[in-house]
Amino acid sequence: MDYTTIQGKQSLDDPSLIHKMNNLSSPPRCVVCVAGPVIVGAGPSGLATAACLKNKGVPSVILERSNCLASLWQLKTYDRLRLHLPKQFCELPFVPFPSDFPTYPTKQQFIRYLDDYATKFDIQPRFNETVLTAQYDPAVGFWRVRTAGSENGVETEYVTRWLIAATGENAEALVPKLEGIMEFGGPIRHTSLYKTGEEFRGKKVLVVGCGNSGMEVCLDLCNHNARPSLVVRDTVHVLPREMLGKSTFGLSMLLLKWLPIRLVDRLLLVASRLLLGNTSQLGLVRPKLGPLELKNLSGKTPVLDVGTLAKIRTGDIQVCPAIKRLKRHRAVEFVDGRTENFDAIVLATGYKSNVPSWLKEGEMFSKEDGLPKLPFPNGWKGERGLYAVGFTKRGLLGASMDAKRIAEDIERCWKAEAKHSTPFTRSHLPLSSSP
């Protein structure tokens, strides 16, 4: 890869600048000077951004802590997972899904799509590199991104004009604090460690969380002759996955072109009542706000039913209130005072951003939830060359939109500064104090 300096900044072959980079309290093994942006994360968001940049003639470096592309999809999802939305709403920029893929591709098909996508654009992430810190250095006018090799522990510092956080909303498992968790005595695992209901065959399993994952895990457990119960802690919108032969999501997007969001919500709820019945009678009380309005305001996604409601109606899945505490001998006490025993607990409690753990800045990202402070569609760009992709709470479609915006913005700077750039003397600058 060619490495170049950036217009208006000290040249990285300037001895005084190299001295500043060497004079660190705990220097890394080497410094890598990157001509284009550094992208943190090789999931769909990172791949989409790298492809958009390459399409503009801008090189990039992707840093990935795992040993594969899309590690969440490959390593931390259950076997029966499919895309919840039709494939045309989940395409990354420039590449449609193969025509022989079903409307809702399987996990394996989506991974294959991502592998082919990376190959098409010659995207080669640097795997097994965990970002420890990323911080803007005003003394040199660049971002310093320090990593550690997950296999050898060797530290490297990447110096870049642009930094793109692409670790997304689902970087780390969100595990709730449950009173008595050490007393329970049975297996408790997050869905990131759940693969199939086969290991729970014949067992009584409590699933905590009634989002799309929780509902699907319950259905999967039923299909493997387990006895699942579902903890519903809050209100939830459950919609049929399809209406009138069309995907509910696609129909909603079509109606929103002509009708106000509240009217579309009313139509969706009327249709859902006709197709699914009154979900409140099943213990699934709907929020006061409609599903689309709630999604816009809070990012909370409605559940698209793939058969779970039918199992709740027949009693194959029991609905439980929130947990008060866990007790000894695998007992669970609920907030209604009832106590019941379970063989295992599966936490379908979602994920969270890990940006605050490595990005040292306080302007663009919230330290509380690790998401951009500005809501969609304005959360993709920060100050001093900092960008975010995959944090829109609008899935792959939102990530693709942000990837295109980021590439267009960086391209403008790239073209303007390229006229005055000079090549780096080396791609790796060894430090005098390195071991």
Residues 185 and 91 both lie in one domain: no
CB-based contacts of 177: which residues, under 8 Å, 6+ apart?
none
- Number of domains, the chain: 2
Q: Let me know whether 163 and 272 are in one domain.
A: no
The CATH number of residue 365's host domain is: 3.50.50.60
Least confident of 192-206, 395-409, 410-424: 410-424
If you compute the radius of gyration of the chain from its CA atoms, what whole number of angstroms results?
Answer: 24
* DSSP string across 263-276: HHHHHHHHHHHHHH
- Confidence at residue 18, expressed as pLDDT on a 0 to 100 scale: 45
pLDDT at 20 over 50: no
Please report the pLDDT score of residue 14 as a whole number.
44
Amino acid 365: pLDDT = 96
Indicate whether 263 and 376 sit together in one domain. no
Parallel, antiparallel or unpaired: strands 38-40 and 61-63: parallel
Q: What is the mean pLDDT of residues 101-110?
A: 97
End-to-end CA distance of the chain: 26
Given 302, 322, 350, the domain boundary residue is 350
pLDDT tens by residue, 262-321: 999 999 999 999 999 999 999 999 999 999 999 988 888 999 999 999 999 999 999 999
Higher-pLDDT residue of 189 and 376 is 189
Are residues 129 and 246 part of one domain? no
Helix (H) or strand (E) holding 33: strand 30-33
Task: Check residue 26 and give its pLDDT.
Answer: 55
51, exposed or middle or buried, with CB in 10 Å at 0-12, 13-18, 19+? Answer: buried
CA-CA-CA-CA dihedral for 84, 88, 94, 95, to nearest 10: 70
| CA gap 166, 399 in Å, rounded | 9
The token pair at 376 is: 């969609």
Distance CA 61, CA 124 (A): 8
Quick one: pLDDT band at residue 416, thresholds 50, 70, 90?
confident
Query: Domain check: are 66 and 116 in the same one?
Result: yes
Q: What are the backbone angles phi and psi of residue 152, rounded to the nearest 5°?
A: -120, -5
**86 and 210 assigned to the same domain:** no
What mean pLDDT is predicted for residues 78-84? 95
At 21-37, the pLDDT tens digits run: 444 445 556 889 999 99
- pLDDT value, residue 29: 67
Judge if 258 and 379 occupy the same domain.
Answer: no
Q: Judge whether 423 lies within some domain.
A: no
pLDDT mean over 385-400: 94
pLDDT band at 137 (very low <50, low <70, confident <90, very high): very high
Buried/exposed 346-366: b ≥16 CB within 10 Å, e otherwise: bbbbbbbbbbbebbebeebbe
Confidence of residue 114 (pLDDT cuts 50, 70, 90): very high
Q: Are residues 197 and 341 in the same domain?
A: yes
Query: What is the torsion angle, in degrees rounded to the nearest 10, for the CA atoms of residue 168, residue 173, residue 176 and residue 180?
Result: -170
CA–CA dist 210, 64 (Å, integer): 31
Is 273 part of any domain? yes
pLDDT at 4 over 90: no
Q: Does residue 405 share a domain with residue 307?
A: no
Is the pLDDT assigned to residue 429 strictly greater than 80? Answer: no
Tell me if 432 is assigned to some domain: no
Dihedral sign of CA atoms 320, 301, 375, 174 in order: positive
Q: Report the percentage of the chain scoring pLDDT > 70.
A: 89
What pLDDT was estimated at residue 419?
A: 64
CB of 89 closer than 8 Å to CB of 249:
yes
Higher pLDDT, residue 75 or 298: 75
Does any domain span residue 378?
Answer: yes
Range of the domain at 46: 30-171+353-417
Based on the fold, state whether residues 305 and 402 are members of the same structural domain.
Answer: no
Clarify whether residues 87 and 102 are in a common domain. Answer: yes
pLDDT at 307: 95
Read off the pLDDT of residues 156-179 as tens digits, 9 standing for 90 and up: 999 999 999 999 999 999 999 999
Q: Are 305 and 292 in contact (CB under 8 A)?
A: no
Residues 203-224: what's their mean pLDDT? 97
Is 50 exposed, middle or buried (CB count within 10 Å of its CB: 0-12, 13-18, 19+)?
buried
Q: What is the pLDDT of residues 138-155, one digit of tens each?
A: 999 999 999 998 777 789
Query: Considering 350, 383, 408, which residue would you say is the last residue of a domain?
Result: 350
**Do 309 and 267 fall into the same domain?**
yes
Residue closest to 80 by CA, chosen among 247, 300, 276, 306: 306
pTM to 2 decimals? 0.88
Mean pLDDT of the chain: 89
